[in-house]
Structure 1
Amino acid sequence: MKIARALLALPGLAALAWGVVLFAEYALPLRPDVFGTVGWIVGGPILNDAVVAPLTALLGVALARLLPPPWKTPVVAATVITGVLAILAFPLLWRPYGTPPMPGLHDGNPTLGLTLTVATVWLVAILTALAHRVAPPITRDAPSITRDARPITRDAPRDTRTDPPGTPAAPPGTGTRA
């Protein structure tokens, strides 16, 4: 297991070393704009870990406690995705051309793009929650579909059907199966 972990860690360490080499090429010799870059490199994770992640987690926990079961997972997932999108869009929203120019990146309106993306995420979350409310959950009333199971016909009475192994029996005195 230790060998597997080491083999998995090596590409990450190699990428980290390559990033340090590239940053050293950019930063040396020192100039004033390097300190701004260091501020972004250090400040981004601190802002995420100190502000965005805790707020997203608190909002997710609060929503999970307040919402009914079909809404919990989609709404909490949409909350987390919204937080990630906010982090990704921050440099473009902070100042125009906040990132190195890329073809097509600065042609659009980042505020509108973020708004439409977040609206799409929440629309999918709402539709997912509504779909869970419309479609009833699968119950154990139906027999399992296996090759060795006998086919069930309409004419066969329910009591003559054999339940698959592991099906719990009903409590004594109820006369029905769970």
Structure 2
Amino acid sequence: MKTARAFLALPGLAALAWGVVLFAEYALPVRPDAIATAAWIVGGPIVNDGVIAPLTAVLGIVLSRLVPSPWKAPVVAGTVITGVLAIVAFPLLWRPYGTPPMPGLHDGNPTLGLTLTVAAVWLAVIATGLTIRIARTRSRAALPATVTAAPEPPPSPAAPPRAPADHPGTPPASPSTPEDHPGTPPAPPGK
């Protein structure tokens, strides 16, 4: 098992080493844009893990406690998706051309794109919550108001219950006392 883990870790370590080599080629000799890049590489995860992820989690928890049951899952999912969209859009919102140019990426308005995407996510959240609520209302309406069990038929006096040791197909044992078999006259004394 340890050998398999080592073989699985080797490609990841090799990719990490290659990334360090590429960054060293880019950053050395030290210049201002290399320092800004290093700050971005280190600061991005810190800002994400220290600010954005906790805010998203707290907002999701608060909203899930405030909204009714059918809305909890859609609202939490919408909150997480909104947080992810904010992380993805942040470089373009922070400064113009915050990422390397890509065809079509800088043609549009990133603020409008983020706003429309977040609006679409929350419209889907509302549609999902309404669908769940309507489905629960319909399922409750389909159930009868009261559930009554059918009465059990009384046990027949001709067949007393079998003892657990009886096997299927064996005739029932004859009752030994009149109480065991109602409706039969008691045996005369002395017999």
Shorter-chain TM-score: which interval?
Answer: 0.7 to 0.9
In structure 1, the residue matched to 2:23 is 23
The alpha-carbon deviation at position 135 of structure 1 amounts to: 1.7
**Higher RCO (Cα < 8 Å, 6 or more apart):** 1
Segments of 4+ moved more than 6 angstroms: none
Does residue 149 of structure 2 align to residue 175 of structure 1? Answer: yes
| Cα-to-partner distance string for 1:51-95 (whole Å, 9 max, x where unaligned) | 111111111111111111110011101101111111111110011
Q: Secondary structure at the match of 1:108?
A: coil
Does residue 38 of structure 2 align to residue 38 of structure 1? Answer: yes
Matches within 5 A, 1:30-69: 30-69=30-69
* Structure 2 unmatched runs, 5+: 143-147, 151-191
Does residue 129 of structure 2 align to residue 129 of structure 1? Answer: yes
| Cα-to-partner distance string for 1:14-36 (whole Å, 9 max, x where unaligned) | 32222212211211121111001
In structure 2, the residue matched to 1:108 is 108
> Among the aligned pairs, what percent are the same residue?
76
* Structure 1 unmatched runs, 5+: 142-173
Measure, in 2, the Cα distance between the counterparts of 1:28 and 1:15: 20
Measure, in 2, the Cα distance between the counterparts of 1:78 and 1:14: 37
TM-score, normalised by the number of residues in structure 2: 0.68
The alpha-carbon deviation at position 4 of structure 1 amounts to: 4.4
Count of paired positions: 143
Find the structure with the greater CA-based Rg.
2
| Cα-to-partner distance string for 1:134-176 (whole Å, 9 max, x where unaligned) | 223879x9xxxxxxxxxxxxxxxxxxxxxxxxxxxxxxxx626
Measure, in 2, the Cα distance between the counterparts of 1:85 and 1:77: 12
- Say what the alpha-carbon RMSD is for the aligned residues: 2.2
The alpha-carbon deviation at position 3 of structure 1 amounts to: 4.2
TM-score, normalised by the number of residues in structure 1: 0.73
